[in-house]
Structure 1
Amino acid sequence: MSVKSRLSQWAITRFATPPFAPHAKDPRVADPNNALTLFDLSERVLAYKSNNDDPDGENPTIDDEASVAYELFNGDGKRVGRTKGVGRMLYQREDGGFVAYFSEEITLDDGTVVRTGGLVDDTRLTKGEQATIQAVAVAGPFKGAVGFRQFRPVVPHKEYQSNIVLYRR
């Protein structure tokens, strides 16, 4: 194993591992000012471009790639940010399902910039199930916060319900 791989493994283990049962008064996790919790967001498409002409995602191929942009709205209908992202089909499983990698940059109106990425069971997502991927704030008031992003299609490629949860450790 290369030195770079060992350092990467050490850093990820040290800095990205969530606390195990933090103390009740742990100021990093227990302080609401250290958390960004956005639930029940609505995402509406601004742009969707794919090399697959199937608008519903029912006929994926191993060569599928897409770029997307959405606006994010809270439950009151107020815009809270925008996303831009890419998705790429990686492989087809033996059972016929497809696995893709999704990545985004989310810019919230408070100045927080969140990078996301992760493997997604595209077959289940297309059927309406929720996907969850890693999220890290890379700029703005929550820079350094880690967590996750969840999303599920309401209308495939047009509207999603989503959640973003980040916390400082």
Structure 2
Amino acid sequence: MRQRKPGALSGSEYSAPRYFVAVQRDITAFRRRLADAEEGARTDALTGLANRRAYDARLAAMLTQPDLVLGLLAMDIDRFKQVNDSYGHGTGDAVLIEVSRRMSSVAAMTPGALNVTISIGVASATSPMATADLLSRAADRALYRAKTGGRNRVEVAVGDGEAA
């Protein structure tokens, strides 16, 4: 019987096939689709504005910053349901797009042909104990007061249990 040298392969090991398989794949398109999906999860498809998921994440992050005084506006297009009911959802979509465009740019200060009014509720967080939920509820209550108080106005959350 032959003796093997140290480190040498035995017969069964020596005869086993040895090979490597490599697969290369371009994932550029996959990464682009993933980035688009992530953006779509944070953006309203009609207006291009940040959606509620993005809003919640941003507000929560901002509330963790020490010594930050934060203001929140809750806005609503007055009698928007009447626009949809009278002129159709296509016109309602056009109104939403135009309002969002104006809100997103300096041109929002320029008067134009769009004849809608906006009610706004404002709340501010001055306490380190403020939470996104408390701030949102305070702004929502102020918005409701603006709408019930005649619309086309701004109400500020103040007083017991409203100021966050």
Normalised-by-shorter TM-score class: under 0.3
Structure that is richer in strand per residue: 1
- Compute the TM-score of the two structures, normalised by the length of structure 1: 0.23
Structure that is richer in helix per residue: 2
